[in-house]
Amino acid sequence: MREFVSELLIDRLVDWGVDTVFGLPGDGADGVLGVFRRRADRIRLVLVHHEEAAAFMATGYAKTTGKLGVCLATTGPGAIHLLNGLYDAKLDHQPVLAITELPDSQLLGTSFRQELRLEQVFEDVAGYNVRVDVPVQIPAVVDIAVGHAMARGTVSHITFSHDLDTGVDTSYWAAMTPSGTPATAPVFMPAPGVPPAAELEQAAAVLNQGSRRAVLVGVGGLDARAELLAVAGRLASPIVKSLPGKAAVPDDHPLTTGCIGALGTGPSEEALAGADTLLVVGTNFPYARHLPDPGKVRTVQIETDLARLTAGSDSEVPLIGDAAETLQALLPMLRQADDRSFLEQAQAGMARWREQLAAAEDGGEASHAAGKPASHAAGGGASRAAGKVASHASGELAPGASGGGAGPVRPQYLARVVDRLAAGDAVLCSDSGTVATWSARHFDVRGDRHYLLSANLATMAAGLPYAVAAQWARPGRQCIAYVGSEGFAKLMAEFLTAVQHRLPVKVVVSNASRLGQLLEPLRSPPAADFAAWAQACGGLGIRVEQAEAVEPAVRAILDHPGPALVDVLVDPDELPEPVGARTGPS
């Protein structure tokens, strides 16, 4: 029986329940495209404009769904372009399968055009990394690759020669080998989720003996919201979140003090500094200066991966298990706290912090006359001076959408407007850089909202591909890319991807471009007009230059039924202040 390699590959992915592949096949990939067309009712290929975006989308898909993300690229430079997105998956422990192509097998080793040893190129990024030499390997190799990625939260990579796609009689290979390919099955079963009872009792004893207890939760606790709130409520413990774990509990819940770290809150710093007992759930938070002195705090840590268990903390009681199941088993062993003063102190600090945030957001306009920040209008969030402020690339924003002061928009204000107007189940995909500070501090996760960003690689340009993948996976939800001008410019072609696939992605560009300043005194071009690009792609594009038009513009793109972008010129001199600064947060 003759079978195309692409059929073997794609059929096995379908057996695993894979329904989406993000990629950009080469110009000779008619076989692969034909298989996708014939199986369009079971699996879809989302064609992108840059392979880096395909890898980001696979990572964003995994972060959004908890399922395997799959990306595909051709040989040579196409495969290399995947690497940044794949390192994002590796460092954030996301299951992603990358599929690449080699030149024809008779050309390997001849220094032929675009010949690279992709097994070596991908050796560091991929936990499982294999070259397919005969088609009969494919079902077993795919099973192992998927199982490895799912079990270890990492990247797997499979590469095969282009000429295998012409079809090879698999029965011939089976006859010529001394033994058959090992039998495998497309089945993955997660490990048991609850630690032994003796270890749970030991952990409960440590937590019950504490008087100032805090919970530090990361991405591993995203599916344990109810359990986290129950345990923290019983222990009267403030919940401190890593930024990737921002959606673990709502930002407006009285038990949380928000995030920790450079993009975090002062009350979270104070809570960890004052704690004598720490429950760490699903994070190996690496920034030691934000953590309590190991000699002054007792730590219980819950982690699914033994290799990550002790990273970032000195755990007295390490627990291997699923966060939700372990917390559920631990809860009956914990005593109700009588003294809630430590939690109340954290709550009072959080109330003051929110007042400082509101002051930073107040007054959408920012100006710098005589080198000093202007005082901002109280209570409004936007200047009220008259004047034209926003336009589509080809015309006015909307009737009545005008007004505003002379200064650029404060980026904090823009982030809070997005927060106020976004849906209760919105998925915010933040880019890295300064915009991550604004989204971390001024966009609240509440209700069923979700928050994605490149946490450990902290790479720019992930925001838009994440949003495309999230919209593909969650077609009924509002998916927003919150990006800076530099990050958006790197992969802005993926807005065209959203248009072509009819994905109603919303893009908010916090445009603080310093290009003109960098080029002075040679030349000083105007900031890029990303709204014009959105319009050229066939989407809605709105440009905002002054504060009064921010809210109507953001509302317009969120209400638009298709892909839409708002390009807001924000003050480039408005920089985040570090946590604990005398003047408070930005």
Domain ranges in the chain are 2-176, 197-353, 362-569
3-class secondary structure, 12: helix
Q: Which residues of 365-384 are buried (b: 16+ CB within 10 A; e: fewer)?
A: bbbeeeeeebebbeeebbbe
Mind listing the pLDDT tens digit for each residue in 106-140?
556 666 666 677 888 999 999 999 998 888 888 99
User: Is the separation of the CB atoms in 497 and 539 below 8 Å?
Assistant: no
Mind listing the pLDDT tens digit for each residue in 263-309?
899 999 999 999 999 999 999 887 778 888 888 899 999 998 777 76
Architecture of domain 2-176: 3-Layer(aba) Sandwich (3.40)
The whole-number pLDDT of residue 182 equals 66
* CATH of segment(s) 362-569: 3.40.50.970
DSSP line for 333-395: GSPPPS--HHHHHHHHHHHHHHHHHHHHHS-SB---GGGSPPPPPTTTSS----S--EEETTE
Closest CA to 356 of 239, 266, 434, 263: 266
DSSP line for 225-276: HHHHHHHHHHHT--EEE-GGGTTSS-TTSTTEEEE-STTS-HHHHHHHHH-S
3-class secondary structure, 447: coil
User: Tens digit of pLDDT per residue, the chain (586 long)?
Assistant: 234 688 889 999 999 999 999 999 876 566 788 889 999 999 999 999 999 999 999 999 999 999 999 999 988 899 999 999 999 999 999 999 999 987 666 556 666 666 677 888 999 999 999 998 888 888 999 999 999 999 999 999 999 876 664 444 455 545 555 555 666 778 776 766 899 999 999 999 999 999 999 999 999 999 999 999 999 999 999 999 999 999 999 999 999 999 998 889 999 999 999 999 999 999 988 777 888 888 889 999 999 877 776 555 578 999 999 999 999 999 999 999 999 999 999 999 999 999 988 888 876 665 443 333 333 322 333 332 223 334 443 333 432 232 234 467 999 999 999 999 999 999 999 999 999 999 999 999 999 999 999 999 999 999 999 999 999 999 999 999 999 999 999 999 999 999 999 999 999 999 987 644 444 544 456 678 999 999 999 999 999 998 999 999 999 999 999 999 999 999 988 888 766 443 356 5
Domain 197-353 shares a fold with domain 362-569: yes
> In sequence order, what are the residues at sequence separation of 6 or more whose Cβ sits closer than 8 angstroms to the Cβ of residue 564?
504, 505, 506, 507, 534, 539, 540, 541, 542, 556, 557, 558
Number of helices and strands (H, E) in the chain? 21, 22
User: Is the separation of the CB atoms in 433 and 483 below 8 Å?
Assistant: no
CB atoms within 10 A of CB 151: 16
User: 293: which DSSP letter?
Assistant: P
What is the helix (H) or strand (E) element at residue 514, kind and residue range? none
Architecture of domain 197-353: 3-Layer(aba) Sandwich (3.40)
Average pLDDT, the chain: 84
The whole-number pLDDT of residue 184 equals 75
Give me the phi and psi of 567, to 5 degrees please. -110, 105
User: Is the CA virtual torsion 29, 30, 36, 40 positive or negative?
Assistant: positive
SS3 content of the chain, % helix, strand, coil (to 5): 40, 20, 40
The structure's pTM equals 0.85
Closest CA to 466 of 64, 92, 79: 64
Helices assigned H by DSSP within 20-122: 30-38, 51-65, 77-80, 83-91, 118-121
Peptide bond before residue 521 is cis, with ω within 30 degrees of 0 = yes
Q: Rounded to whole angstroms, how far apart are CA atoms 59 and 53?
A: 10
